[in-house]
Structure 1
Amino acid sequence: MMKRLLLGLALLVAGGALAFGGGRMLYRAKASEHWPVVKGAVLSSSVETLRSRRSVSFRPHVRYSYTVGAEHYTAETIAFAAVDTGNPQEANEYVRRFPAGAPVELHYSPGEPSIACIECGLAGMADYAVTAAGVVMMWFAASGLLSVSRSGLRARRRQRTQAPGGTAPPRETHG
């Protein structure tokens, strides 16, 4: 029973982390549309090639700087949605749109100005999928933990109601 309890708790925590991470990205994507706007400058722009055993994908990498108040910041977030693609032309399109040295208009979080984005309001399917997977994991973990807890309580009740000789004590009947 302890193994099941620990597994359920681990799944609950993992699901919570997924739901929180995906939900935070969805929230930031939507909220960023209404963040304050400031002008900045692109510091560098390139395409990164990501290789795995089964595929190759391309990630546009845009680094930019901006000033809020007296503080100077640099950031690399294009959008809160994933911008990785299997098409090098799509990744290169970002590089062409945001060349090094070009001015850029960006949105920054009023509560945490170090968080910024160039293309705000975009949320990807991956963010929705991660959030949904986290919620589903939490639901299964919570229902499993509830089931383990109930069966443990039933087992303890049975142990308490059994007499030392192995038989249940007689029940009182009211007539």
Structure 2
Amino acid sequence: MMSRILGYLFVFAFLSCFVGVGVAMLGYGTYGIVQAKRSATWPTVRGEIESCKMHSRRDSEGSSYGCEVDYRYQVNGKSYQGDRIAFGYNNTNYKQPHKQIERHLKQGRYVQVHYNPQDPSQSVLSTGTSSNAWLPIVFGTTWLTICGSIWALCFCGGSVEKLPARLAELNHPSALKTR
């Protein structure tokens, strides 16, 4: 009996950690989508590009590419520094789109910076949502669905130990006749 309780406690603690990851991903994704939509209405100022470079990273799954930019801007006489291109902008394994972003940003010295009027230190160069902004929400939802399924199997009478008996009952000839 004690080992069963410890087993349930272990599964509960394990799932709690995994649920935390799923909730964090949903929260991060939701925050990004909301900010991306809000950024479309943010005021703009002229910013100056300090650096812009393309980078690549190689790992066991191949190469990923991205563009890094640093820019300065002023709001009400106070200087700020930003590095966000867009909410949801991430590295990908496609080099060309990032090369185009780098080329576009290097065309001139100045850019239009959208800043959050409640927190001018928060800025972005491109507003609106991108398909990448939805990835944390998709991942978090999938993650929580898997955790919920495991939880249901373990804690809602759907334990794996009882599954063979339930299948035997369902496939028993007398069960088939009554249906």
TM-score band, normalised by shorter chain: 0.7 to 0.9
Which secondary structure does the structure 1 equivalent of 2:40 belong to?
Answer: helix
RMSD of aligned Cα (Å): 2.3
Match of 2:139 among 99, 120, 133: 133
Ranges in structure 2 where 5+ consecutive residues have no aligned partner: 1-7, 158-179
Cα 1:4/1:133, change in 2 over 3 Å: same
Match of 1:11 among 7, 18, 21: 18
Deviation at 1:4, TM superposition (A): 1.4
Cα deviation 1:145-171 (Å, max 9, x = unaligned): 5775666xxxxxxxxxxxxxxxxxxxx
Ranges in structure 1 where 5+ consecutive residues have no aligned partner: 152-175
Deviation at 1:46, TM superposition (A): 0.8
**Separation of aligned partners in 2, 1:81 and 1:61:** 14
- Structure 2 matches for 1:1-175, cutoff 5 A? 1-99=8-106, 102-125=109-132, 127-142=133-148, 145=151
Deviation at 1:98, TM superposition (A): 1.3
Length-normalised TM-score, structure 1? 0.74
Bigger radius of gyration: 1
Cα deviation 1:67-110 (Å, max 9, x = unaligned): 11232111111111224343434322222211286111011112
Length-normalised TM-score, structure 2? 0.72
Cα 1:52/1:147, change in 2 over 3 Å: closer
| Amino acid across the alignment from 1:98 | L
| Amino acid across the alignment from 1:13 | G
- Alignment: residue pair count: 150
Which secondary structure does the structure 1 equivalent of 2:84 belong to?
Answer: coil
**Separation of aligned partners in 2, 1:104 and 1:120:** 13
Cα 1:46/1:147, change in 2 over 3 Å: same
| Amino acid across the alignment from 1:132 | V
**Separation of aligned partners in 2, 1:5 and 1:83:** 34
Cα 1:89/1:136, change in 2 over 3 Å: closer
Structure 1 outlier segments of 4+, above 4 Å: 142-151
Cα 1:6/1:108, change in 2 over 3 Å: same
